[in-house]
Amino acid sequence: MTSPSGTLTVAFQGNPGSYGEIAALNAVPHTGQTLGCPTFHEVMQAVERGDADYGVLPVENSLMGAIHQAVDLLSDTELHVIGEVVVRVSHCLMALPGVALGDIKKVASQQPALDQCTVLIREHGWQPLARHDTAGSAKDLAERGARDEAAIASRRAAELYGLNILQSEIEDEKFNFTRFMILSRHGLEASAAPRNTPYKTSVVFAVRHTPGFLLETLSELRGLNLSRIESRPRKDRAWSYLIYIDIDGDAQEPQIAQALAGVLLKASYMKIIGSYPAAQGTVG
């Protein structure tokens, strides 16, 4: 919640030092504190209850694709997406002070992080240990004091938990970024954000299970640049799907507004998740 000094609280999933916390620290101006939550759902609940002013959810990674657990929550919530943050994911190998590379037998991290560092892990023959999140693996290592174990997490995690960085930028592919959406109880209009920067509009919709009807609905968006399109199974109906799309541009632009009106006429369900300033550059 907003502190008396006017600073803001941003909720994220994970422990301090996670890439989610890095996104939270960079989500909005005047972020004063962050609130770590065990799950994506609890991030949204924290914002809905007013325990946090904003929340961040990771929706896709440049190497691993969509983060479906987070994406699936966007169609259910009444929260608004008011922005995005792109975090550069740069993994570090860290251990307790005094531990050398040759002492390590096991390495712990979140499974996606382990999958992104397979070259180093296989080169040394380390046993990978899957943990709930990257920073949590660093925190756990510092608390247990295991001297035959390392963790893979961010540089910030090493600093927070007093671990030494043995190697940095250990990910197999350097083009590794995670996109986070910023969630708020209030629509963007309430924040008086300037609309003179590039925008994105995120939409979810469903169509009748009729041959050709999806293509017909998508044809309403011709002439627009779709930067993301994917389908996700509906929870309330077998073999029926929700279609998520990101459109480059502002929903208030006449061409986009007209296109969305056309989709609404054809869709059995449609929701504008948010129309918001696109991220300019990366953080982390």
Q: What is the pLDDT of residues 40-64, one digit of tens each?
A: 999 999 999 999 999 999 999 998 8
Could you give the strand order of the β-sheet that contains 106-110, starting from the edge strand earlier in sequence?
127-131, 106-110, 149-153, 92-95, 164-168
Distance CA 30, CA 16 (A): 18
Q: Would residue 100 count as lying in a domain? A: yes
DSSP 8-state code for residue 283: B
Residue 255 clears pLDDT 60, i.e. is over it:
yes
Range of the domain at 206: 199-277
Residue 232 clears pLDDT 60, i.e. is over it:
yes
* 51 and 183 housed in the same domain: yes
Given 126, 159, 191, the domain boundary residue is 191
Q: What is the mean pLDDT of residues 256-276?
A: 95
Structural domain tally of the chain?
Answer: 3
Please choose, from the candidates 60, 56, 32, the residue with its C-alpha nearest in 3D space to the C-alpha of residue 43: 56
**What average pLDDT does the chain have?**
93
Q: Would residue 264 count as lying in a domain? A: yes
Distance CA 121, CA 125 (A): 6
Residue 1 clears pLDDT 60, i.e. is over it:
no
Q: What is the mean pLDDT of residues 194-222?
A: 89
* 67 and 118 housed in the same domain: no
* 236 and 104 housed in the same domain: no
What are the tokens at 206? Answer: 């469903």
The answer to whether the CB of 17 falls within 8 A of the CB of 138 is yes
- Output the domain CATH number for residue 256: 3.30.70.260
- For residue 66, list its beta bridge partners: 60
Distance CA 192, CA 186 (A): 11
* 74 and 116 housed in the same domain: no
The pLDDT, as a whole number, for residue 22 is 97
* 70 and 184 housed in the same domain: yes
Residue 3 clears pLDDT 70, i.e. is over it:
no
* 184 and 204 housed in the same domain: no
Q: What is the mean pLDDT of residues 270-278?
A: 95
> What is the total residue count of the chain?
284
CA angle 58, 127, 171 (to 5 degrees): 40
* 108 and 211 housed in the same domain: no
Residue 9 clears pLDDT 50, i.e. is over it:
yes
Q: What is the mean pLDDT of residues 172-183?
A: 95
Active site residues: 178, 180
What are the tokens at 183? Answer: 């969630």
